[in-house]
């Protein structure tokens, strides 16, 4: 299944990128564990703390194309080192903060920018430029699975640290864990010159972005990824509220989220293998269609614990497994020279959808008392995403050849 990763240098490059993403995503997606103890210590209120984390959600998406552009222009080494240092700094400073504005700076900006600089756009772009073509699909699946594994590992570890040393001690411990990932940067970026030759003429970053934004397939890819962000943010933000509305204990929500993270490890690996065997647009269409069907199934089923667990397993299999085929299409269309930038822009689209999914879910529960309209909207958007991926053209962009003077 992953025979293309057997070469030692290919495997080590892939595992280094997966290890960095494990740390940055694990730290980022475990911040919710600190809300209650931080509120109990500072008295800032859940709304104030949540606002800082909401700023972090958008900042993480907004930094993706910027970090990708800097990595494409100057190389990924300095971007990744700076990102890890900034993420560690945000974690280390947070225990000294006692205001809402301070939390926006440390968690909403420092930590989010740091984790974003060490996330998908830079890591997948850096790995793709150092791997042969036949290895990129499987590698992107392994790298993506690293992020899910980080969520699966960091959450229980940090919870134990909070119980043992308090939330401040856990924050400082998390900063040290982030710094421990710095040696992986050297392994990933070993050899700054990509071994893969670029057949197309390099006309610069600005031209690459302008060309991409004028390509219909790239724009359709953005629309599908926007829907993915809407779907994920709505569920990760409001699934506990849905569980409470159904009269079930909070442990059902926590176990459901854990199942999502675990299932996505296998889903990401499978998606990476599918990229090497099937056209990526069909892989994406199948994923989005499965989400629409799963939401419809959930709405028809009785609200029991097992309904939530089965629902979580099904959704988790495609949770962030959309990343490998999406990155693969961007690479097929425009090559890997500016993959960090161009894939970073699709991640920004993903997070804009995420902002709306989280925000509109809150409006729905306030206005209507339940999430019915959000479920219907989510199902419709998933079905639309499945359809709009089908016309995407995966062949490389045809560039006109200038006539000789």
Domain ranges of the chain: 1-190, 205-396
Q: What pLDDT does 170 receive?
A: 92
Judged against a pLDDT cut of 50, whether residue 328 lies above it is answered with: yes
> Which residue in the block uniquely carries the two structure tokens 């920018």?
113
pLDDT at 253 over 80: no
pLDDT top residue among 258 and 25 = 25
pLDDT of 297 reads 95
Q: What is the pLDDT of residues 59-103, one digit of tens each?
A: 888 888 888 888 878 888 899 999 999 999 999 999 998 888 999
Q: How many whole angstroms separate alpha carbon 51 and alpha carbon 46?
A: 8
* Mean pLDDT for the chain overall: 82
Least confident residue range of 13-17, 237-241, 317-321, 328-332: 237-241
Q: Which fold has domain 205-396?
A: Growth Hormone; Chain: A; (1.20.1250)
Domains 1-190 and 205-396 share a fold: yes
pLDDT band at 5 (very low <50, low <70, confident <90, very high): low
pLDDT-derived band of residue 49, with 50, 70 and 90 as boundaries?
Answer: confident
Confidence at residue 198, expressed as pLDDT on a 0 to 100 scale = 44
Residue with token string 């031209």:
207
Question: Are 320 and 236 in contact, with CB atoms under 8 Å apart?
Answer: no
Could you tell me which residue, 387 or 58, shows the higher pLDDT? 387
**The token pair that represents 324 in the structure block:** 């490998």
pTM of structure: 0.73
Architecture of domain 1-190: Up-down Bundle (1.20)
Distance from C-alpha of 380 to C-alpha of 224, rounded to nearest angstrom: 12
């Amino acid at each position: 299944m992953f025979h293309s990763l057997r070469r030692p240098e290919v495997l080590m490059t892939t595992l280094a990128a997966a290890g960095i993403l494990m740390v940055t995503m694990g730290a980022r997606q475990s911040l919710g564990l600190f809300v209650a103890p931080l509120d109990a210590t500072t008295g800032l209120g859940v709304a104030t703390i949540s606002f800082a984390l909401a700023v972090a959600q958008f900042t993480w998406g907004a930094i993706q194309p910027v970090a990708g552009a800097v990595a494409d222009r100057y190389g990924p080494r300095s971007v990744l080192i700076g990102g890890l240092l900034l993420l560690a700094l945000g974690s280390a400073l947070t225990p000294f903060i006692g205001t809402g504005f301070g939390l926006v700076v440390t968690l909403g900006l420092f930590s989010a920018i740091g984790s974003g600089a060490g996330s998908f756009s830079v890591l997948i772009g850096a790995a793709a430029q150092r791997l042969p073509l036949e290895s990129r699909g499987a590698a992107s699946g392994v790298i993506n699975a690293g992020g899910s594994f980080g969520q699966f590992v960091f959450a229980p570890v940090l919870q134990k640290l909070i119980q043992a040393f308090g939330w401040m001690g856990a924050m400082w411990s998390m900063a040290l864990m982030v710094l421990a990932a710095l040696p992986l940067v050297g392994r990933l970026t070993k050899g700054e010159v990509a071994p893969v030759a670029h057949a197309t003429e390099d006309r610069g970053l600005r031209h690459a972005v302008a060309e991409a934004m004028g390509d219909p397939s790239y724009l359709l890819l953005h629309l599908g990824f926007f829907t993915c962000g809407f779907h994920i943010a709505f569920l990760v933000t409001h699934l506990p509220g849905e569980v409470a509305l159904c009269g079930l204990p909070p442990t059902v929500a926590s176990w459901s989220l854990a199942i999502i993270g675990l299932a996505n490890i296998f889903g990401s690996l499978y998606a990476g293998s599918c990229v090497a065997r099937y056209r990526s647009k069909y892989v994406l269409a199948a994923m989005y269609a499965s989400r629409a069907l799963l939401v419809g199934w959930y709405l028809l089923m009785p609200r029991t614990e097992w309904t939530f667990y089965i629902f979580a397993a099904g959704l988790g299999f495609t949770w962030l497994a959309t990343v490998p085929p999406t990155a693969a299409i961007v690479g097929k269309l425009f090559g890997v020279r500016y993959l960090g930038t161009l894939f970073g822009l699709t991640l920004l689209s993903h997070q804009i959808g995420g902002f709306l999914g989280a925000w509109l879910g809150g409006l729905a529960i306030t206005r209507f008392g339940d999430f019915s309209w959000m479920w219907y909207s989510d199902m419709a958007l998933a079905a639309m995403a499945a359809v709009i991926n089908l016309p995407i053209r995966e062949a490389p962009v045809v560039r006109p050849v200038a006539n000789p003077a």
